[in-house]
Amino acid sequence: MTHALPPDLRRRRFLRNGAYGSSALLLPAWLGGCGNSGGGQPVAPVEPPVLPPVTPPPPKFAPRGTHLSWTADPLTTRTATWFTDGEDAPVSAIEFGPVSAGMSAADIASAPLPGRAEASTSATPGVASFTHKASAAGLDPNLPMRYRVGSAQAWSPVRVVRPTPAGEEFRFCHFGDHGIGPSSSTVLRAAAARQPDFLLIAGDLSYANGDQPLWDDYVNALEADYAASGILLTAPGNHEEEDNNGATYRNRFACKTSTLSPDGTFYSFDLGRCHFVISTGGCFATDGTLASEIAFLETDLAQAALRRAAGEIDFIIVSQHFTIWTDNEGRNPNNPTLVLLQENIFVRYGVDLLAVGHDHIYQRSQPMAFGQPNPLGYVQVTAGTGGKGFYVLLPQSAWSAFGLQDSHVFTEYSISRGAITAVSRSVDPATGATAVIDEFSIPRRSLGAANAAVQPVRSLARLGQSFDANYELLARRTRAANRMKLAACAQPSHV
């Protein structure tokens, strides 16, 4: 059985192939051509050209652009997303097994893989390709996983992924505003070299901006530099909205889904003694889920605060693309009402860390709330420095603890019982050399502060009254603000 492309994409494929084919008609100068007959003059001998080596084309249905994420239990599952090219696609699957003690490299590469899960397959938006997603489940949390993806026609190499730490200690890296190109690859490789248990990219991933083949370049670079053998989690950004309000993002990435978030654009999960929430920050306001997401933030964070006060977890960590506060020149809240609403929820339930991007600067706040330092507030880390060009950092506000412009930076967080210890490193785009530019830690809240964050869940209607937030109007205004942001991003000064 194969899946077939719709006719419009077959035509696009044909046109693409035609364009490639026509390049073969560009004859080299030494063969002469129209108006270059030599006019009867003696012709100097010409050295035959040295032709580049011919690279055989990949086999049909060769998997590419593979990246891994968690869509269920981080300890016992991994979800792979990959792509095949062509006008149809085979039945595809992930095959997996443990790396057992004593296995040699040859065993790892060739021993039978006992687990198998068939992939869901769908046409990739705007290109003649197919997206495949499959989850390996029932993994031994103490052993690395080896796996391959593909089909009977073509398999990927067998790759190995480290086990997710089952205890209280783990590490993750974070940056946003990634893009495609040498700087983007250098930052990704520098973060990968830290061997984090997962990497969190806080939106503005490819900057394809609707040019769908660029997404292929992006996922192929992800595979090459990190994500076929490491866990990648993502939050969407305003540039993901460019692709049919996130249709491409939804297709090309696999995130944890729920009743309120059937496409996984916002989600939460636990790891160690941390609770993580990934929010859209309103960047997909056209899809009609903004009110659902606010209800999700309110209920999910209220439950997390309760669990923290009960001693089940130590920290609540939120990530989204948009900042709540910033000292980036010329930037303001995406939608002031939405930001006020979000910040009220974050402060009410005692969010400890907010990891964001969007502004292409590095800035880390003191614990803060409502634009003022506040020991009961959250630490915001803006690392919109994953590879794109830089913006201007203004003189810093009272809430700011550290800021830096004109450097590619990623932040690594080490979690242990009762403490988050973080190190931010700049990356030299030419050499890949890293240097520590900022260090900070976030201690666990006192029991009194944790108890103070245990608050009753408010209904959407009550929240709406408090913030004068008609949700339909809120979505409409956020959508309009997103459009203005994207228009601003199209200016030459915003790269």
d(CA 458, CA 4): 47
**Residue 429 interacts with Fe ion (CB under 5 A): yes or no:** no
Complex with Fe ion: residue 177 or 314, whichever CB lies closer: 177
Asked if residue 358 binds Fe ion (CB under 5 A), the reply is yes
Q: Which amino acid is at 343?
A: E
Query: Minimum distance between the CB of residue 190 and Fe ion, rounded to whole angstroms?
Result: 19
Cβ proximity to Fe ion, 177 vs 343, nearer residue: 177
Phi-psi region of 221 (alpha: psi -120 to 50; beta: other; left: phi over 0): alpha
- Cβ–Cβ under 8 Å, residues 322 and 282: yes
Closer residue to Fe ion (CB): 252 or 358: 358
Largest CA distance in the chain: 96
The residue from 87, 95, 204, 216 that contacts Fe ion (CB under 5 A) is: 204
Residue 236 touching Fe ion (CB under 5 A): no
> Is residue 383 packed enough to be buried (19+ CB in 10 Å), middle (13-18) or exposed (0-12)?
buried
| Least distance in angstroms from the C-beta of 489 to Fe ion | 7
Q: How far is the CB of 318 from Fe ion (least distance, A)?
A: 17
Which among 319, 298, 336 is positioned nearest to 234, based on CA atoms? 319
Stretch that binds Fe ion, among 5-13, 173-181, 256-264, 446-454 (CB under 5 A): 173-181
State which amino acid sits at residue 123. Answer: A
Looking at the Cβ atoms of 92 and 328, the one nearer to Fe ion is: 328
CB closer to Fe ion out of 82 and 215: 215
State the nearest-atom distance from the C-beta of 358 to Fe ion, in Å.
Answer: 4
Tokens (6 digits) for 468: 């004068």
> Of 237 and 464, which CB lies nearer to Fe ion in the complex structure?
237
Q: Is 237 in the site for Fe ion (CB under 5 A)?
A: yes
Instruction: State which H helix or E strand residue 21 sits in.
Output: helix 7-23
Q: Which is nearer to Fe ion, 316 or 481 (CB)?
A: 481
| Binding footprint of Fe ion, residue count (CB under 5 A) | 5
CA nearest to 322, candidates 254, 402, 240: 240
Residues 6+ apart with CB under 8 A from 195: 162, 171, 230
* Choice between 205 and 221, CB closer to Fe ion: 205
Least distance CB 457 / Fe ion (angstroms): 30
- How far is 263 from 289, CA to CA, in rounded Å? 10
Closer residue to Fe ion in complex, CB, 152/495: 495
99 contacts: CB under 8 Å, gap ≥ 6 = 108, 143, 144, 145, 146, 160
Report how far residue 163's alpha carbon sits from residue 184's, in angstroms, rounded to the nearest whole number: 26
* Beta carbon of residue 187, minimum distance to Fe ion (angstroms, whole number): 13
Q: DSSP letter at 333?
A: -
Taking the complex as a whole, how short is the minimal distance between the CB of residue 256 and Fe ion, in angstroms?
A: 23
Q: Is the dihedral of CA 403, 408, 411, 412 positive or negative?
A: negative
d(CA 298, CA 188): 33
For the CB of residue 212, give the shortest distance to Fe ion in the complex, in Å.
19
Q: Tell me which stretch binds Fe ion (CB under 5 A): 58-66, 84-92, 164-172, 202-210.
A: 202-210
- Between 66 and 238, CB nearer to Fe ion: 238
Is there a contact between 335 and 281 (Cβ–Cβ < 8 Å)? no
3-state DSSP assignment of residue 155: strand
> Quick check: 412 binds Fe ion (CB under 5 A)?
no
Give the shortest CB-74-to-Fe ion separation in angstroms. Answer: 27
Residue 203 CA to residue 184 CA, distance in Å, equals 14
> Closer to Fe ion at the Cβ: 260 or 486?
486
Among 85, 87, 95, 177, binds Fe ion (CB under 5 A): 177
Residue 402 corresponds to which tokens in the numbers above?
Answer: 């550290």
Minimum CB separation of residue 204 from Fe ion in Å reads 4
The residue to which tokens 């929010």 are assigned: 279
* Two structure tokens written together for 362: 């590095």
What is the identity of the amino acid at 199?
Answer: L
User: SS3 of 332, please?
Assistant: coil
**DSSP category for residue 32:** -
Which of 78/358 has CB closer to Fe ion?
Answer: 358
Among 92, 229, 238, 292, binds Fe ion (CB under 5 A): 238
DSSP alpha helix (H) spans, 209-355: 212-222, 238-241, 247-252, 290-309, 336-348
Closest contact distance (angstroms) between CB of 333 and Fe ion is 13
To Fe ion, the closest distance from the beta carbon of 454 in angstroms equals 34
Binding window for Fe ion (CB under 5 A); candidates: 161-169, 297-305, 358-366, 407-415: 358-366
Chain positions contacting Fe ion, by CB under 5 A? 177, 204, 237-238, 358
